[in-house]
Amino acid sequence: MSNLKLTVSAGVRDRFLCPVSVTLDTPGVGALHTGDTEVACQSIPVDGGKCELRFIVDRLAAGTSREFVATPGDSPGGGHLRLQDDGASISLLQSGDLLSTYHLADPNAARPYWYPLFDPHGGRCTRGYPMDPQPGEREDHPHHKSMWVAYGEVNGTDNWSEMPGHATMRHESWNTLAAGPVYALFDHNLTWVSNVGDVTFGDTKEGGLLSMRVTTSMDVPHGRIENAVGGVNEDETWGKRAHWCDYSGPVDGNWVGVAVFDHPTSFRHPTWWHVRNYGLMTANCFGLSHFTNGQADGTHVLPAGDTLRFCYRVYFHAGDAKQGRVATKYHDFIHPPAVAVG
């Protein structure tokens, strides 16, 4: 099959280290070039003999475009990203260095979690307690384990805390494990251990479909919370709807931050935020009675066999939300560069 020409257009905003993806009518891409420069790329097969090609555009000014040439073939192997599976956890390595570990079977945890998570300078930007306590950390809410998924009222059970009678989550099987020169991917089946049949997500502030507990040095007032509508710190962000929320502060002498982006395809987008000055940031679209002073009920029943979709991106950056270009990076997520083929 002959080479494919791709034209990537920035649109109305500057692009910097921006992920790009496009579906092509070929089973795989072996190489990608722009001019004489080879560009790291990675492709995965999709239905119909096609593939999804992913790569990173380093810089592309607003209103401009750039041409790339994709050569069909086997997707490049190796690369600087690698997944390491020890049976109880999956570690993500970059050129041999640990980026994070997804803990699947910690006997001291009710559910999987990511830890550690590093900022761009190499500091740990989520709390180590209770798994790996660090000097000076707050030691409260032991169920706040770095980054995790949970919710506090599922069919009447508590799948958020680790108090007596709490529910649990159990890893069942892997669907996909892949890593290469551009990205790493894993997809697994995770059972929320509760009653079968319809699932009722009750109205409670205790929970978040994506949750983080930042390291204590980033807590307000030393650090800063900011959301997409300009709200600052807990008084202006807790219980408010926003497309994204950012938590930034000092870590090992550097100001760094982490943002959570909510995609328009997520259920009840834009989500509400259960975010606290003491370091907790969660996306919670069910606790409406708490967020609206009783004016709304966020309870939702998911019929047996149906699906709820939540799509988030977690972005680690240097500086605060403005310095980290969080608003622009959010648009990279929901309005990526357009790609024309041919």
Average pLDDT over residues 315-329: 98
Reported as type and span, the H/E element at residue 93 is strand 89-94
Is the predicted pLDDT of residue 185 greater than 90, yes or no?
yes
DSSP string, 287-300: -HHHHTTTS----E
Is the predicted pLDDT of residue 1 greater than 80, yes or no?
no
Confidence of residue 308 (pLDDT cuts 50, 70, 90): very high
Confidence of residue 266 (pLDDT cuts 50, 70, 90): very high
Confidence of residue 198 (pLDDT cuts 50, 70, 90): very high
- The pLDDT value recorded for residue 152 is 96
Instruction: Say which CATH topology domain 4-76 has.
Output: Immunoglobulin-like (2.60.40)
- The pLDDT value recorded for residue 75 is 81
> d(Cα 284, Cα 300) in Å, to the nearest integer?
12
Is the predicted pLDDT of residue 196 greater than 80, yes or no?
no
Is the predicted pLDDT of residue 135 greater than 90, yes or no?
yes
- The pLDDT value recorded for residue 194 is 84
Reported as type and span, the H/E element at residue 326 is helix 326-334
Give the position of tokens 């791709």. Answer: 6
* Total Cβ atoms within 10 A of residue 228: 22
Average pLDDT over residues 194-217: 94
Nearest CA to 262 out of 273, 250, 275, 249 is that of 273
The distance in angstroms from the start CA to the end CA of the chain is 13
- Largest separation between any pair of C-alpha atoms in the chain: 62
Residue 225, CB-side half-sphere exposure with 13 Å CA sphere: 29
Instruction: Enter the DSSP assignment of 216.
Output: G
Which CA distances in Å does 90 have to 57, 83, 101, 104, 269?
28, 6, 6, 8, 30
- Count how many residues are written for the chain: 342
Is the predicted pLDDT of residue 112 greater than 80, yes or no?
yes
> Tell me: the pLDDT tens digits for 23-49?
999 999 999 999 999 999 999 999 999
- List beta partners, residue 57: 18
